[in-house]
Each structure stands twice: as C-alpha cells, then as structure tokens.
Structure 1
C-alpha cells in the first residue's frame, strides 16, 4: 500500500507564514491560524510544504487504504485560500451566509477573508473540527 506523501514536517509555521510575499495572503494566513488554533485547541503544524494543519484524523477508505491527515487545515495558494474541512453535510446555512466562495471535494476556496462572513466561517470550521473527531 502506498504511503501518504503529506506528513507533518516540524517546520516553523510562523516563519512559513511570515515568508508569504503577498501582504493580504500573509495576514489572512495568520488570521486563519489563530481561528483554527482557538477552535481546535491544537497548535499549528506544517504538513508537507504548504498545508497548515491542526490535530490528526485517521481515515480508512472502502478499499482499505488508510492514513493520517490533519483534522482541519488550510493552505495559502496563489489564487485562493484553501480550507480543508472534509465534509459539507449540514453546512448549507453557513455556506449560504459565507459570501464569495467555491467548494470542491472536502475543500472550501476563498479568495480573501475580507470577502466572507467571519461568523459563518467560524461556524464551518467548528463543525468540521467536531465532525472530524467522530
């Protein structure tokens, strides 16, 4: 069975965020870190070269493959902020209130935090944290 490529690195998350060139993206990264740490009660960990994760979630697929991923995470991509919040069942109300965003399989894409409703985002992150623990 293939091993997961994305693993905790032990790299300094603050230094990683401080090195982001784009000032809005850098500020949004620090804001998301604070939000995710407050909700999770877990310290930020750099997974692979660019994913900032909180906690650990062990998964197993129907095919029997398994591994560990961050329970919740985000990444500061060039085009958008990517929030890894796993499942969206029951998130409809918060997504409707969120503002400008896109969704993918387990991912929420936001251009910048100024485009979204902070309370709706916090609810989404909290629900994702709670659900990933079950």
Structure 2
C-alpha cells in the first residue's frame, strides 16, 4: 500500500489526486480485493485469460489509472451488460473496456459502484479470480 500511496502522491492535479484516492477506496470496497500497483495501473484481484490464438496472461479483475488527461477505469467484461446503467452514470467516454472520466463529480457514484460491483461479479462467475 505504501507503493500506491507514493504513486498517488506524485499526481500533479489536485482534483485527480483526490479522485484517485476516492476510487482506490471505492474499488477496494466494491471488489473485496486489496489494491496493487502494476506500472501506472492500480489493480484489484487477478484473473488468467487465454485467447483462442493461444496467447494468455494475467490481468486485474478491475483496475484504474489516474492518467494526466483523465481517470481510466478498466471494466474487464466491457459495457454491453451495463447499457441501462450507463444512461444514468453521468458524463464519461467509453472504450472497449475503458471508462474515461474527467472527474468523479461528473458521475453518479451510486451507479458507478453498481457497474463496478456487477463487473467484478461477472468476472468471478466467468473466470477463476484470485487476490
């Protein structure tokens, strides 16, 4: 955890730094996993994946990165299952498995927590997840 606190202390933007601390708390609570730092990503839990091509690896069950331009939350199953919730989430942009957020005050945090919880639940039901 010391490594994560050090990483977060180096964020220049005060809003982004504060939001990153809040995300750390939310995602630890929602996922039930302890956070760990991997590069510039804070992950929670881990699962093993293997593609049909044979490529395989390990990835966080859910994660976030406080990037310079925005906060990125990695929702591993993507967003197809969450379309009805996304309508009430607030202001954001989507990638395939990335939720791009300018600041947490742009979001309905209850909806964000529900999407995060359901994402973790999906991963636990479909993959062997570990701490």
CA RMSD, 1 decimal: 1.3
Per-residue CA distance 1:29-49 (angstroms, 9 max, x = gap)? 00000001101121110012x
Aligned to 2:68: 78
Q: Is the 8 A contact 1:59 1:68 kept in 2?
A: yes
Q: Which aligned segments of 4 or more residues in structure 1 are displaced greater than 2 angstroms?
A: none
Uncovered stretches (5+) of structure 1, i.e. residues with no partner: 1-9
Matched, 1:30 2:21: yes
Matches within 5 A, 1:119-130: 119-130=110-121
Q: Is the 8 A contact 1:17 1:26 kept in 2?
A: yes
Give me the whole-angstrom Cα distance separating, in 1, the residues matched to 2:95 and 2:25. Answer: 24
Aligned to 2:56: 66
Per-residue CA distance 1:2-21 (angstroms, 9 max, x = gap)? xxxxxxxx871111112211
Figure out how many residues of one structure are paired with residues of the other and give that number: 124
Q: TM-score, normalised by structure 1?
A: 0.88
Q: TM-score, normalised by structure 2?
A: 0.90
Give me the whole-angstrom Cα distance separating, in 1, the residues matched to 2:7 and 2:106. Answer: 24
